[in-house]
Structure 1
């Protein structure tokens, strides 16, 4: 009986300690791991989201960039961090393609999902003084000169690589794809004339477009982007796609969070997402926001993974 009593007391103390920990969460700053380079679209979204974290989350959230291996270094670091709620990761589209491409042993199943932040359409852009005035100019030249046109993108198997590759495959064009570590580096390469075309998220080109440094040939989506009313869709430009590929970004934590801590994290990040400052900044930068809670996010990722596996196989990019 004494042994049983001690076990009950021990279990009770453990439960009380866990509850107390959850109730005081967050009690210190939180680290947000971003798997892409500083200055890129993903990094900008992350920093904008947590800019007012003290107010909407209760503590500061510090962004740490861990780049490499098409995002797998940073996203992998999240899975091996302590599951105490003080490390969260920004996960991206590449997580949906690591398995089909054989790039990394990572998937959404390795995390406690927090929320979807946005879905972005891709775009093809050229320097303002490029010889390619329209998407038709670009596609026609690439058909007549296979593999000559260099196209920068933010990583093999990423949304913008697959988006452009699908467009080329369906319309019998041919590009020389050049991978970079994040879209910030793609933009730099385009302006430096190291690549002829940039495949990025359309929102990632907004500032350069407004500065007159680039021309966006088309948005790879079914509808024009609200923030870019003058940019035609690929269909309007004469190169329709049945199912354009969209990028996504979301938040996840190491698997095995205390349920009450997870509830607090979900609530805190949703408050950051809904803040006037983040919503206004997203509108200013042309970033299309899409919120999904953990359950909705999981359903979205499961369905996307299945669809992308088929696309990757059809393009001959699979493992």
Structure 2
């Protein structure tokens, strides 16, 4: 009887040992598979031919070469970045979907929507702040103002006459105009557009008078004399237009600063080792001459590639816009 019990015990232990060895082998195989082992999707919360799309494709090319895997860009525009960001939050947290989101999607949306369809903090892992890009304030030549102080005076003398275009509530062109209204005590009227290309075309045609937009988009029109530059919304002048002052200095509006920004995220729960690798490789990409040069050519500033830097910057932007949005009573259903 004792011998039978011993034989059964030995058999059970052999099964346990086999299971242990199998688990160890699987673990070793998993550890031996470098990330990424298959193509990676880069979901961009903006349309094609936009500034976020451009930096995404540069980043995808750089990472694809470094990883020896395809990095496929998928554009999901809508609501200033909220639509694509929501879809990104629902993706598997396995490192094979990265999300490029916007300032509206990650910092402003929570102030302008009654209920966000995702939590910008809890539903994502920050990877890197990619870049910041100031807006350029321009006016149609039909407006009799040579500088920002004259524009503000004209707006006060002609209440309701000046209109500004914007690509949706919570976007930086919209918020720039809202902040100018508040700071200067004027009341320009906003005209929303679904497509930023049509927004620019209508300004050039004189269908409205004022526009804040990416300096890279408006620079050719300024140089051609089709629009008149009033100021840059960043903290300092841009090398592309050194003669154009900041809005803060041109309008005597201390503290006026607005920049569009784009950050790279992963769905919450993505493995820390994957996040660390992606962050390090993105930091290297941002420091490369190709990407850094492109960002500077747009008049922008490259991010550091640090997850903590993005986390802190996002929190500061969320606090900044909460009071401004509340005072302007901006809401989206």
What TM-score does the superposition give when structure 2 sets the normalisation length?
Answer: 0.84
Structural RMSD (CA): 2.6
**Do the aligned residues in 1 keep the contact of 2:248 with 2:255 (CA within 8 Å)?**
no
**Do the aligned residues in 1 keep the contact of 2:163 with 2:210 (CA within 8 Å)?**
yes
| Structure ID, larger Rg | 2
Change beyond 3 A, Cα 1:8–1:141? farther
What TM-score does the superposition give when structure 1 sets the normalisation length?
Answer: 0.87
- 1:36 aligns to 2:49 (yes or no): no
User: Counterpart of 1:144?
Assistant: 157
Instruction: Pick one of 99, 110, 114 that aligns with 1:99.
Output: 110
CA displacement at 1:314 relative to structure 2: 2.6
| Matches of 1:153 and 1:165, distance apart in 2 | 11
Instruction: Pick one of 145, 150, 157 that aligns with 2:170.
Output: 157
Of the structure 1 ranges 167-176 and 255-264, higher mean CA displacement relative to structure 2 is found in 255-264
Instruction: Pick one of 61, 65, 71 that aligns with 1:51.
Output: 61
User: Counterpart of 2:282?
Assistant: 269
User: Counterpart of 2:317?
Assistant: 304
User: Counterpart of 1:169?
Assistant: 182
User: Counterpart of 2:95?
Assistant: 85
Change beyond 3 A, Cα 1:128–1:148? closer
The unaligned stretches of length 5 or more in structure 1 are none
**Do the aligned residues in 2 keep the contact of 1:206 with 1:285 (CA within 8 Å)?**
no
**Do the aligned residues in 2 keep the contact of 1:78 with 1:254 (CA within 8 Å)?**
yes
1:216-251 CA distance string (max 9 Å, x none): 211123422233211112233234132423221111
CA displacement at 1:130 relative to structure 2: 5.3
**Do the aligned residues in 1 keep the contact of 2:247 with 2:256 (CA within 8 Å)?**
no
**Do the aligned residues in 2 keep the contact of 1:36 with 1:181 (CA within 8 Å)?**
no
Structure 2 counterparts to residues 1-319 of structure 1, below 5 A? 8=20, 12=24, 15-21=27-33, 23=34, 25-94=35-104, 95-102=106-113, 104-106=116-118, 107-127=120-140, 131-181=144-194, 183-317=196-330
Number of residue pairs the alignment of both structures matches: 317
| Matches of 2:135 and 2:101, distance apart in 1 | 18
